[in-house]
Amino acid sequence: MNKDLRKVLAFPYILWMIGFTIIPLSLIFIYGLTDRNGSFTLSNVLSIFAKDHFKALLLSIILSIVSTAICLVMAFPLALTLKSKKLNKGSLIVFIFILPMWMNFLLRTLAWLSLLEKNGIINTILNFLHLPSLNIINTPAAIILGMVYNYLPFMVLPIYNVLEKIDDNTINAARDLGANTMQTLTKVIIPLSIPGIVSGITMVFVPALTTFVISNILGGSKVLLIGNVIEQEFTKGSNWNLGSGLSLVMMIFILISMAFIAKYDKDGEGMSV
């Protein structure tokens, strides 16, 4: 009796999730699988294979893979170094690295615009030093930079969390048994940090894959990513059916990453903050 009563406590939540998660998501399915007149069609979903959409998707995948890889390469040594500093848990240094996250996402991207512009700050400095100028604004390179900068903390945090939990004794034991630094890293530390790495990868990959903000601001609207296509179908093209159809395709990628997390990060170690 008592137990049933307590189950009731979940009802407001369940109602909320049905009303504001399940129903809205099913609307995407309804819009995505019908045409303007409301009859069933697969053409919205299949239009991902149309030349422009597929190109945009491919470019998005490439850019987000590259930026996820860069994030990983930058974040892992950073997390390792932070761990090796043997900082007490709430050290100021660790916080200094997460602090930029609290600047607004758009302000951070905007700052890069000012830095990278043709007459921007980096180029002003380079000119002053008589060095050749850096012309990456409005190119995919600028977008990758923006992605790495914005999503790097999502990679650092989970990896650091997992590394923190590795007992120093485990590492010392490996050393005592004759493993060199490299072996300790590849045989002990990396395998133990897989949950953190996997959740880091998904936490960077998904937003990078679907962004339209970074590509708009740093890409000068010259680079069309799949996120831009979807956003434009809703805000400019006024073809909601097509936009929903393409969103459905994006959900497939999200499902894949959910599956990855479920497989490698069973206890949600990396997800906790």
Partner 1 sequence: MIYSKIRKVLGDFYLVFILIFLYAPIATLMILSFNASKSRNRWGGFTFDWYGELFKSATIMSAFRNTLVIAFLSALIATLIGTVAVIGINNMRKVPKTVVMAVNNIPMLNADIVTGISLMLGFIAFGISLGFKTILISHITFNIPYVILSVMPKLKQTERVTYEAALDLGATPIMAFFKVVFPDIFPGVISGFLLAFTMSLDDFIITHFTKGAGINTISTLVYSEVRRGIKPSLYALSTIIFATVLILLIVSNIAQNKIKKK
Partner 2 sequence: MKRKFVSIMTLMSMLSVAVLSGCGKSDAGAKAGSAGELYVYNWGEYIDESVVEEFEKETGIKVVYDMFETNEEMYPVLEAGGVVYDVVCPSDYMIEKMIQNDMLAEIDFNNVPNIKNIDTKYMDMAKSFDPENKYAVPYTWGTVGILYNTSMVDDEITSWSDLWNPKYQGNILMQDSVRDAFMVGEKMLGYSMNTTDKAELEKVKEKLIEQKPLVQAYVIDQVRDKMIGGEAAIGVIYSGEMLYVQNEVANSGEDFELKYVIPKEGTNLWIDAWVIPKNAKNKENAEKWIDFLNRPEIAKKNFEYITYPTPNKAAFELLDKELQENTALFPTDDMLKNSEVFKYLGDEGDSLYNDLWKEVKGN
Q: Which positions from 121 through 160 interact with partner 1, judged by CB under 8 A?
A: 121, 124, 149, 152
127 is in the binding site of which of partner 2, partner 1, none (Cβ under 5 to 8 A by kind)?
none
User: Does 24 contact partner 2 by CB under 8 A?
Assistant: no
Using CB distances below 5 to 8 A depending on partner kind, what does residue 52 bind out of partner 1, partner 2, none? partner 2
d(CA 141, CA 219): 9
Rounded Cα distance between 44 and 53, Å, is 11
- Residue list 211-230, contact with partner 2 (CB under 8 A): 220-222, 224, 228-229
Beta bridge partners of residue 34, listed in sequence order: 40
The set of residues, in sequence order, having a beta carbon less than 8 Å from that of 195 and lying 6+ positions away, is 158, 162, 264, 265, 266, 267, 269, 270
DSSP 102: G
- Burial pattern 129-147, b for ≥16 Cβ within 10 A else e, equals eeeeebeebbbbbbbbbbb
| Alpha-helix runs per DSSP H in the chain | 2-8, 11-17, 23-32, 43-46, 51-84, 92-98, 105-116, 121-128, 140-165, 168-176, 181-183, 190-192, 194-210, 213-218, 226-235, 240-264
The SS3 assignment for 34 reads: strand
What is the size of the binding site for partner 2 (CB under 8 A)? Answer: 30
Binding-site partner at residue 154 among partner 1, partner 2, none, CB < 5 to 8 Å by type: none
Question: Which position among 37, 39, 119, 169 is part of the footprint of partner 1 (CB under 8 A)?
Answer: 119
Stretch that binds partner 2, among 53-61, 69-77, 181-189, 197-205 (CB under 8 A): 53-61
Rg (CA), the chain: 23
SS3 36: coil
By CB under 8 A, name the one of 64, 68, 161, 210 that touches partner 1.
210
Per CB under 8 A, the list member of 21, 127, 183, 235 interacting with partner 2 is 235
Asked if residues 33 and 42 have their Cβ atoms less than 8 Å apart, the reply is: yes
- The C-alpha atoms of residue 157 and residue 273 are separated, in whole angstroms, by 7
Q: Tell me which of partner 2, partner 1, none is bound by residue 57, counting a contact when its beta carbon lies within the kind-specific cut-off of 5 to 8 angstroms.
A: none
Q: Which one among 90, 132, 178, 191 touches partner 2, defined by CB under 8 A?
A: 90
The residue among 70 and 229 lying less far from partner 2, judged by its C-beta, is: 229
Q: Give me the least distance between CB of 114 and partner 1, in Å please.
A: 5
Indicate which single residue of 29, 65, 117, 166 sits in contact with partner 2 (rule: CB under 8 A): 117
The residues with which 40 forms a beta bridge, in sequence order, are 34
Nearer to partner 1, 155 or 193 (CB): 155
* Residue 38 touches which member of partner 1, partner 2, none, C-beta under 5-8 Å by kind: none
Stretches 56-64, 167-175, 183-191, 243-251: which one binds partner 1 (CB under 8 A)? 243-251
Catalog residues that contact partner 2 under the rule CB under 8 A: 51-53, 55-56, 89-90, 94-95, 117-119, 135, 138, 164, 220-222, 224, 228-229, 232, 234-240, 273
